[in-house]
Amino acid sequence: MPRSLTYMLRLIFSCVLICTVILCADQCNAGNTEHQKTMVTDTTVDQSKPDNAAHSPEIGETMPLWSCMPFACMLLSIALFPLLAPDFWHHHFVKVSAFWAILMAFPFIYHYRMVAIHAILHILMADYIPFIILLWSLYTISGGILLRGDLRATPIINLLMLAIGTLLASFMGTTGAAMLMIRPFLRANSHRKNRTFMVVFFIFLVANIGGALTPLGDPPLFLGFLHGVPFFWPLHIFPHMLITTLILMACFFIMDTFWYRKEKSLTKPRIIHDREPLRLAGWHNFLFLAGVVAAVLFSGIVKLGEVNVLGIYRFIQDWLRDGFLILMGILSLVTTRITIREDNQFTWFPIKEVAYLFIGIFITMIPCLAILKAGSKGPLAILINAVQTPAHYFWATGSLSAFLDNAPTYLTFFSTALGAHYPGMTEPEAVKQLIAQNPVYLKAISAGSVFFGACSYIGNAPNFMVRSIAEESGTAMPSFFGYIFRYSFIFLIPVFILISLIFF
């Protein structure tokens, strides 16, 4: 077993074990108190919904906004330490992530007891572990696919690669498309000096906006599919995606052409006597990628019941999916020649960095998600109640999706729209009525949750991974705030304003 997988499993097991020990100790010591009975009852109500207790609205109704401070500090650490203290961050980022997670978890457990333990276990077992397993499998499989040959990118070739990646994202997921395309993209541009903007636009298009057309593209759309939105309904936001993509690609092409011509005029042309033809090595890994996509789709369609593990109810098909994803990754490691991964400059550091940092992000994010889930009864009631028009839904969903998990953000405003327009109606019927009578609201929520994930490194799963791979290849990447102020505010926000004015 590779050392990276060992470290990842050890980290996950340690966190689950600590929470389990605390859970058992609390059960033994608190015994038959009325408080415990109430909490246990709360965590077992509606067992058909695995996330019932973990993101319980009652928690969000009582939690103050300052409980989100560890999450804010976690983001600031990611933003500032690499810039102000790069050596310290490189050697101690694991400790920083653990510090903020512990700082949030201990007071949270002390105050909410069993409900807090349940929430932490839930976000680890139902959210974090599947998240890391999916990333690890895609990262491992894509690392076994190597494009050999002399491919020296020009602005036209770069634009074509971005277009292919953007198209693939809706059918194999933004994570799958990004992991598949980023290494060939970087290798084709290895002779270029100014590559930073290329990777940023790659994140914009392939890792985010490209996943807007099917539930396979991005988690919030998949969540909508599970709640009754037809599989091909997201195609209704194709005009939104098309305009956004064309504008960003035009900006990229202008910048790439400028720098390409400038660099070409300053360097002597390289003469290639024996040009190696393009060919794929490790092509059989595409079968494993197809297996990953099929497993994700299977887990959303098939219903096999639930299983209780440490008080966390998860669907059996989700466990099967996770196991199958691990199998696909292991098969890729076993069947792919080591030389292919070496030539691909494949290392385990990017996935380890994401695993360590995102466990801190996921744990510190619990209060934010709980407050958001509380809706109009929580501290963010002013924000939730102010969301009225489609434009409000687009910007509210998008702004929160840029820094929080876009899946629960999508679900929150999806439920808000259903309740506002069809109160008292069952969800399946309300969804049908929303699509038939007020589809613009669902378009706004869908586009906002997908598009705005490009606004920060943590807005969507593959963003941070692409950044880490790019830095390992020698491409200088902007800091957390540098990315936002130098690129997101300049390129994305004006385009989103235009989309809002045209469609919402």
350 vs 335: CA distance, rounded Å: 22
Centre a 10 Å sphere on the Cβ of residue 82 and count the other Cβ atoms it contains: 17
From the list 239, 135, 161, 136, the residue with the least C-alpha distance to 451 is 239
4 vs 9: CA distance, rounded Å: 9
Cα-based distances in Å from 123 to 66, 131, 190: 20, 10, 39
Is the pLDDT higher at 249 or at 421? Answer: 249
3-state secondary structure of 189: coil
* Mean pLDDT across 433-437: 88
Is 254 exposed, middle or buried (CB count within 10 Å of its CB: 0-12, 13-18, 19+)? exposed
* Mean pLDDT across 49-68: 63
From the list 344, 359, 368, 314, the residue with the least C-alpha distance to 183 is 344
The pLDDT of residue 285 is above 50: yes
Question: How big is the chain by its Cα radius of gyration, in Å?
Answer: 23
From the list 140, 160, 38, the residue with the least C-alpha distance to 351 is 140
From the list 106, 135, 184, the residue with the least C-alpha distance to 358 is 135
458 vs 464: CA distance, rounded Å: 6
3-state secondary structure of 314: strand
Buried b (16+ CB within 10 A) or exposed e, 146-176: bbbeebebebeebbebbebbbbbbbebbbbb
129-141 confidence digits (pLDDT tens): 887 888 788 888 8
Structure tokens at 32: 């038959």
486 vs 451: CA distance, rounded Å: 18
Q: Taking the model in full, what pTM does it have?
A: 0.73
| Residue count of the chain | 504
Residue 268: predicted pLDDT: 57
* Minimum mean pLDDT range among 170-174, 348-352, 424-428, 464-468: 424-428
Residue 56: predicted pLDDT: 47
Pairing outcome for strands 279-281 and 306-309:
unpaired
Structure tokens at 420: 């506002």
Residue 269: predicted pLDDT: 55
β-strand partners of 391: none
Mean pLDDT of the chain: 79
The pLDDT of residue 409 is above 60: yes
492-501 confidence digits (pLDDT tens): 999 999 999 9
Alpha-carbon dihedral angle through residues 19, 21, 24, 25, given to the nearest 10 degrees: -110
* Mean pLDDT across 390-419: 81
Residue 370: predicted pLDDT: 79
Task: Give the whole-number percent of the chain exceeding pLDDT 90.
Answer: 20
3-state secondary structure of 76: helix
* Mean pLDDT across 9-20: 48
Task: Give the whole-number percent of the chain exceeding pLDDT 70.
Answer: 83
CB hemisphere CA count around 1 (13 angstroms): 9
Residue 204: predicted pLDDT: 94
Q: Confidence class of residue 275 from pLDDT cuts 50, 70 and 90?
A: low
CB hemisphere CA count around 268 (13 angstroms): 3
Q: In sequence order, what E strands does 6-57 have? A: none
335-371 confidence digits (pLDDT tens): 998 888 887 778 888 788 888 888 888 888 888 777 7
Amino acid code (one letter) for 325: L
The pLDDT of residue 168 is above 70: yes
Structure tokens at 129: 């572990």
Alpha-carbon dihedral angle through residues 189, 190, 191, 196, given to the nearest 10 degrees: 70
The pLDDT of residue 52 is above 60: no
Q: Are 366 and 123 in contact (CB under 8 A)?
A: yes
Q: Which helix (H) or strand (E) holds 147?
A: strand 146-148
Residue 188: predicted pLDDT: 85
Q: Confidence class of residue 488 from pLDDT cuts 50, 70 and 90?
A: very high
Residue 308: predicted pLDDT: 82
Pairing outcome for strands 312-315 and 306-309:
antiparallel
Q: Are 70 and 107 in contact (CB under 8 A)?
A: no
* Mean pLDDT across 416-427: 74
Q: Where are the domains of the chain?
A: 3-44+60-146+287-503
Centre a 10 Å sphere on the Cβ of residue 330 and count the other Cβ atoms it contains: 16
